[in-house]
């Protein structure tokens, strides 16, 4: 532990009741709760823009229930907290801490209701994506930026203050009491120290953009892989937390998103459609027109199959019926075709020709899948069921394809927390007055995060952290 990170300054420049590091969904959810229960709440973000990776989110929110009652409305069968928990732990390779997963899944419905009450609209869509045993992914009807505008409005409306261009450079901890005291913050006008009268919440996000840190924990991960994260996802606050004794875990687990734009590594709307569409019958094919993976496998399995056995790009293949299921607008289709993010063919053979794939191979692949689906047979290529009753055959055109390739997307590791979002030190003891929430935390998703669990995690633990921090005694 770095001793120069311990001793607080002789005099503080200012004070706040609760200080939140990071203005993504976890930080703003925490601010909504804290600002409603205590005095001054300050949100700090080093970037000149707010929102972190959350403004880039595709809008999938995993929850087994909500006030929208879409499962019942759409006739999609049963789901439960137990199923959600089991899927999350299995999807994470059994590395997740069950107690943390339970908090997330139990709190997911009220967290989704919090989003709705904050003004975020949702589609009448409940999707089954990789690793799910039931349709569970609600989807916002707006972009990640608009979603975050709603949550920011709620946080500022509750009385929180947002400061951009404010980079945390040090965490002060009193080693006699063990309590965190405040922060050193670099601003355009120089460094300032801020005293936390109640607590500090770390919601600074992951470290996907820090290739050196990724390589430190996962040397096998290619540094040349593109990254979907915003530029500020560099993880230095994890290092500062470690410097005052915080424990970390699962830092070696870095998730790739299999459907990113192959040219940029970004997650545009078509990347999210290429991922979500697998629950409705979309198939993935390689550069010779053959399926190479079970589409509803986890993101890690799909990405590994692409990197290990395919050339860039691979393709998500679907038809107009699946476009309708996804709620893709005519404008999105038109724009996707104009930008080359989508390719169209009136027939499967025409689509293959447009993609430069062998016609016979792609036609045979589609025919095999359609025949198995029609006869209710197991997956003809990988065995077992391909999905539930929402799976549509690729029989009627027009047909479409979205080029895709893996991109570094999410870091499952970070600081260790307990069920009340308190940061735990290397000796297994909570660090007094220090909380954390969101991607900066480890232990929840294990080796691989399932789609939609990120927003649920951020809101559930962000709100818990905000309530806990606001409830600390004043000093």
Dump pLDDT digits (tens) for 284-317.
999 999 999 999 998 989 999 999 999 999 999 9
Provide the mean pLDDT of the chain. 95
Stronger pLDDT, 209 or 5, i.e. the higher one: 209
Confidence of residue 1 (pLDDT cuts 50, 70, 90): low
pLDDT of residue 105: 98
Domain definitions of the chain by residue range:
3-253+412-470, 259-405
For the cut 90, the answer to whether the pLDDT of residue 221 exceeds it is no
pLDDT tens track for 398-417: 999 999 999 999 999 999 99
Q: HEC string of the chain?
A: CCHHHCCCCCCCCEEEEEEEECCCHHHHHHHHHHHCCCCCEEEECCCCCCCHHHHHCCCEEECCCCCCCHHHHHCCCCCCHHHHHHHHHHHCCCCCCHHHHHHHHHHHHHHHHHHHHCCCCEEEEEECCCCCCCCCEEEECCCHHHHHHHHHHHHHHCCCEEECCCEEEEEEECCCCCCEEEEEEEECCEEEEEEEEEEEEECCCCCCCCHHHHHHHCCCCCCCCCECCCCCCCCHHHHHHHHCCECEECCCCEEEEEEECCCCCCCCHHHHHHHHHHHHCCEEECCCCCECCCCCCCHHHHHHHHHHHCCCCEEEEEEHHHHHHHCCCHHHHHHHHHHCCCEEECCHHHHHHHHCCCHHHHHHHHHHHHHHHHCCCCCCCCCCCCCCCCCCCCCCCCEEEEEEEEEEEEECCEECECCCCEEEECCCCEEEEEEECCCCECCCCCCCCCCCHHHHHHHHHHHHHHHHHHCCCCC
pLDDT digits (tens, 9 = 90+) for 427-444: 999 999 999 999 999 999
> What's the pLDDT score for residue 222?
72
Residue percentage of the chain with pLDDT more than 70: 99
Residue 413 is predicted with a pLDDT of 98
Provide the pLDDT confidence category of residue 4 given band limits of 50, 70 and 90.
low
Residue 389: its pLDDT value, please?
74
Does 467 have pLDDT greater than 70?
Answer: yes
pLDDT at 6: 72
User: In sequence order, what are the beta bridge partners of 20?
Assistant: 43, 201
Q: Is the pLDDT of residue 445 over 80?
A: yes
pLDDT of residue 2: 57
Q: Pick 3-253+412-470's CATH classification: 2.60.120.1600, 3.90.420.10, 3.20.20.210, 3.50.50.60.
A: 3.50.50.60
Over the stretch 9-52, which tens digit does the pLDDT of each residue have? 889 999 999 999 999 999 999 999 999 999 999 999 999 999 99
Q: pLDDT by residue (tens digit) across 336-393?
A: 999 999 999 999 999 999 999 999 999 999 999 999 999 889 999 998 888 777 899 9
CATH number of the domain located at residue range(s) 259-405 in this protein: 3.90.700.10
Predicted pLDDT at 3: 59
Q: State residue 5's pLDDT score.
A: 60
Round to whole Å and give the CA distance between 206 and 40: 26
Q: What is the pLDDT of residue 35?
A: 97
Per-residue pLDDT tens digits for 95-152: 999 999 999 999 999 999 999 999 999 999 999 998 999 999 999 999 999 999 999 9
- Any idea which residues carry the catalytic annotation? 299
- Residue 326's pLDDT band (boundaries 50, 70, 90)? very high
């Amino acid at each position: 532990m770095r001793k120069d990170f311990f001793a607080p300054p002789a005099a503080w420049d200012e004070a706040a009741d609760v200080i939140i590091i990071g203005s993504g969904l976890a930080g703003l959810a925490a601010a909504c709760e804290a600002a409603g229960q205590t005095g001054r709440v300050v949100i700090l973000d080093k970037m000149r823009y707010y929102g972190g990776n959350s403004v880039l989110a595709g809008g999938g929110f995993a929850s087994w229930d909500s006030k929208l009652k879409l499962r019942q409305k759409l006739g999609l069968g049963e789901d439960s907290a137990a199923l959600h928990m089991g899927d999350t732990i299995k999807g994470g390779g059994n590395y997740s801490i069950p107690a943390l997963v339970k908090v997330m899944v139990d709190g997911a419905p009220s967290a989704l209701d919090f989003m709705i009450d904050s003004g975020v609209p949702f589609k009448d869509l409940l999707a089954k994506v990789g690793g799910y045993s039931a349709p569970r992914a609600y989807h916002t009807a707006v972009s990640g930026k608009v979603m975050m505008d709603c949550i920011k409005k709620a946080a500022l409306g509750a009385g929180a203050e947002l400061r951009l261009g404010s980079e945390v450079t040090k965490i002060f901890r009193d080693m006699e009491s063990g309590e965190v005291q405040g922060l050193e913050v670099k601003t355009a006008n120089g460094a300032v120290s801020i005293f936390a009268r109640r607590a500090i919440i770390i919601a600074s996000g992951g470290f996907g953009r820090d290739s050196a840190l990724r390589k430190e924990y996962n040397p096998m991960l290619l540094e040349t892989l593109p990254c979907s994260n915003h530029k500020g996802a560099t993880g230095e606050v994890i290092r500062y937390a470690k410097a005052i004794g915080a424990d970390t875990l699962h830092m070696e687990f870095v998730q790739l998103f299999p459907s990113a734009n192959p040219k940029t590594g970004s997650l545009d709307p078509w990347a999210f459609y290429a991922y979500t569409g697998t629950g409705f019958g979309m198939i993935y094919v390689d550069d010779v027109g053959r399926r190479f993976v079970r589409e509803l496998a986890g993101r890690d399995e799909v990405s590994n199959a692409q990197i290990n056995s395919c050339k860039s790009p691979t393709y998500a293949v679907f038809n107009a019926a699946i476009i309708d299921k996804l709620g893709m607008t005519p404008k999105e289709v038109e724009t996707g075709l104009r930008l080359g993010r989508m390719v169209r063919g009136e027939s499967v053979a025409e689509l293959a020709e447009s993609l430069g794939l062998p016609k016979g191979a792609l036609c045979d692949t589609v025919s095999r899948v359609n025949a198995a689906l029609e006869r209710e047979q197991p997956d003809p290529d990988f065995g077992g069921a391909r999905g539930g009753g929402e799976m549509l055959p690729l029989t009627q055109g027009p047909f479409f394809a979205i080029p895709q390739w893996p991109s570094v997307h999410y870091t499952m590791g970070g600081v260790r927390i307990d069920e009340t979002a308190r940061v735990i030190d290397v000796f297994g003891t909570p660090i007094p007055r220090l909380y954390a929430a969101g991607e900066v935390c480890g232990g929840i998703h294990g080796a691989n995060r399932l789609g939609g669990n990120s927003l649920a995690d951020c809101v559930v633990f962000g709100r818990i952290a905000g309530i806990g921090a606001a409830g600390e005694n004043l000093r």
